[in-house]
Chain A
Amino acid sequence: MFLLLALTLVRGLIYIAVIPPWQSPDEPFHFLSAQSALLQGAPDASGKWERLKAETAASLCEFRFWELAGLVVRKPEGCCPEGTGACPTYGFGEPTQIRPRTFTHALLSLPLRLVIDQPVIWQLYWARLLSVLVNLAVVAIAFAVGRLLFPDDVFGRLLLPTIIVFLPQHTAVMAAVNDGNPAELWSCLAIYFWVRGIVKGFKWHGLLLVAVFTALAAASKPTTYFLVPPLLALLIGYGWQRLQGWWRLAPLGGAACLIAGLALASERFRHPLALLGSLLDADGEGFTQWSLAHLPTALVETLRSFWAFLGWNALPVSDAWITLMLMLSALCVAGLLRLGWRCWRGQAGRGPGLALCHTALFFCACIAISLAIMLIVFAYSAGQYGLYQGRYLFPAIIPIVGLLVIGWRACLPTGWRREGLIAVAALFLVFDTAVLLAYALPFFYPLWR
């Protein structure tokens, strides 16, 4: 595990080095959001805020932000090289709007206090470094999940964290400032306790930990809402089994309290609830037709950008790579079907085999709900394909990669798992090297201009 953690750290440092400042999606916004938490109640907050924005705008100009992110954000007239006054910083418009969007920005602001007197670019790199540490925790959790699921099988146990370590888009996002990173950490912790419960049996304290980490994740970012429906089902089902008489209804109250608490605590949680309400009110026909018409494009965009789409979604890799990844995913589906058939026929055995079937089912549910939520939000946002980004699936990185590993393992003959492990690890190493050397370096560093 320590080798994988060391690799994660070094790869994080390399991605911090290669991706120029501000060139990760919404990085200026998230950085300024964390900074805004530092200014709460500070004397001369407005003046400090304006100075910070001016310094950030100058840094955006220095690192040719609009040249590299030109596909997504247009450079306004009068903004660098003429001056920085007209440059937007993609943070808050007015000093009166200073407030962090989620509590995770406030959390990030705590270590930023240590470097508050340094130039803004120092502070950005410091914040990026903290994101890499979050990635270390994610990889460690993936390793722990692998040990739970495959106690006697090196293929599954090592491949699960190895793929996460070498996934280029994931490493790039986790080496940048974004509120999705702590959200992913909470989400991975919730999933760990889910898997632990499935493998070793649920207990009340395990359930409580799943609920706490799900609540923290949901309060951090909407991309983790996929955890909420399974949690509600678990609470109600577990309570129904374990409690007697009228107490059986208590988990229903608990589930209602969880939803109400999240809705009260997080403004962003109310938004999908409202969307869901309007969907139920309407006849749904137009929505269904519209979604079915756009679903293929939206799914393709999501899949493309899940593997590698660096910068502000400006740098897609060749279709050949995406086709290869799709073929590997298809192989995984074949394996999952085989596993499903064995589970259905009761051939998976008791103990680890059955737990693997249940975990695969849970992972499938996570991914399906995550995609469904994205589709609903996408449909109600007038079909902006830009909203359909693979990185929004990263809170479900363990279910996604876990399902890939479970599927491939079911395809491979037992005697070939060692070869399978080496082949997949080598493939991801080559893919990651291609993304770094053949795409990221020439794109971010045009040497002759």
Chain B
Amino acid sequence: MRTRLANLARHLFWRSWLPLTVLALGIIGWQASDTLLSDGQFVNNIRPGPTISLANGRQLGQTFVAARAGLERVDVLMFGYHRRNTQPVTFHLRPAAAAQDVFSATFNADEVWGWRWMSFRFPALPDSAGQTYYFFFESPTSTPEDALTLGGVEGDLYAPGTALINGQPARADAAFRTYYADLGLSDVWRALSARLVEGKPWLWGSLPFYVGLGVVYLLLVVGTGWYLIRTG
């Protein structure tokens, strides 16, 4: 019986390891292209304490400069302290100099338990290129035991903007991503290939070198995998 189970497990392993690896690589590729399509600041190294949550009427937000025309979506990394939060939270987006929102949305805090990227989609803003915007969250009914907070970094990683606590600048940046209409993977490839070689010397300044390096790397990975399977 034990031998049969072991044989079954071995059979399953050899059937599944390659598809699972390819699937994982595919998911990574999709995540990478999604992040490359956006602008903003995606790093999160904050271990949030209760003092910087949305409790007691505190507003948490971030200023940013729209990189292109057609701003249509803002994603923000939120944290629910791994507990069930219950209060309504409102997201506001407005031009930095204006008092009126161009978009606002209210959701219940129970949508966020641990870390979660919250997406806010709105009709594309055609004249957004180069404009400074400001988004913030507020939840007047939240308490320290029942509130969300934002992810991000303490420091200055996003030069065009800064985090705001109750409207006051803080030396921090929220983790957020902005998305624009009419951007596709071909735009990403064109922009990335230009950026990779920009200003770099020698072979590193030539795109064919990167393509060749990628092809050789793939061949070597496949070759090493094949060698490990045969030798192992």
Contact = CB atoms under 8 A, between A and B. Distances in A.
B157 A17 contact: no
Interface string B10-49: 1001100100110011001101100110010011110000
Interface in A381-416: 415-416
A433 B217 CA distance: 12
Interface size range of chain A in the complex? 35 or more
Interface in A66-109: 67-68, 70-72, 74-75
A155 B232 contact: yes
Contact of B28 (A418, A438, A443): A438
Contacts of A419: 10, 13-14, 17
Interface string B213-232: 11011001101110111011
A122 B220 CA distance: 28
A7 B204 CA distance: 18
A448 B200 CA distance: 19
B217 A449 contact: no
B99 interface: no
Contacts of A4: 224
Interface in A331-365: none
Contacts of B153: 71, 314
Interface string A245-285: 00000000000000000000000000000000000000000
B188 interface: yes
B158 to A, nearest CB: 8
Interface string A168-209: 000000000000000000000000000000000000000000
A352 B102 CA distance: 71
B210 interface: yes
B201 A3 contact: no
B191 A448 contact: yes
Nearest to A313: B45
B25 to A, nearest CB: 6
A315 B14 CA distance: 35
A17 B43 contact: no
A70 B157 contact: yes
A447 B188 contact: yes
Nearest to B183: A448
Interface SS of chain B: helix
Contact of A7 (B43, B188, B220): B220
Nearest to B66: A448
Contact of A415 (B6, B67, B223): B6
Interface SS of chain A: helix
B213 A13 contact: yes
B220 A3 contact: yes
Nearest to A415: B6
Contacts of A303: none
Interface string A99-137: 000000000000000000011011001000000000000
B204 A17 contact: yes
A167 to B, nearest CB: 15
B225 A425 contact: yes
Contacts of B232: 154-155, 158, 417-418, 421-422
Contact of A448 (B42, B68, B214, B229): B68
A390 B45 CA distance: 16
A421 B226 CA distance: 12
B156 interface: yes
Given A71-B157, A433-B25, A7 B224 contact: yes
A16 interface: yes
Given A122-B201, A422-B17, 8 more contacts: A10-B216, A14-B217, A162-B228, A430-B28, A434-B31, A437-B28, A438-B31, A445-B192
Interface of A: 3-4, 6-7, 10-11, 13-14, 16-18, 21, 62-63, 67-68, 70-72, 74-75, 118-119, 121-122, 125, 154-155, 158, 162, 314-316, 319, 415-419, 421-423, 425-426, 429-430, 433-434, 437-438, 441-443, 445-449
25 contacts: A3-B227, A7-B217, A10-B217, A14-B217, A16-B204, A21-B200, A67-B159, A71-B154, A74-B156, A154-B232, A415-B6, A419-B17, A422-B17, A422-B225, A422-B228, A425-B228, A429-B221, A430-B24, A430-B25, A433-B28, A438-B35, A445-B36, A447-B36, A448-B191, A449-B67
What 3 pairs across the A-B complex have the smallest Cβ distances?
Answer: A448-B67, A71-B155, A418-B232
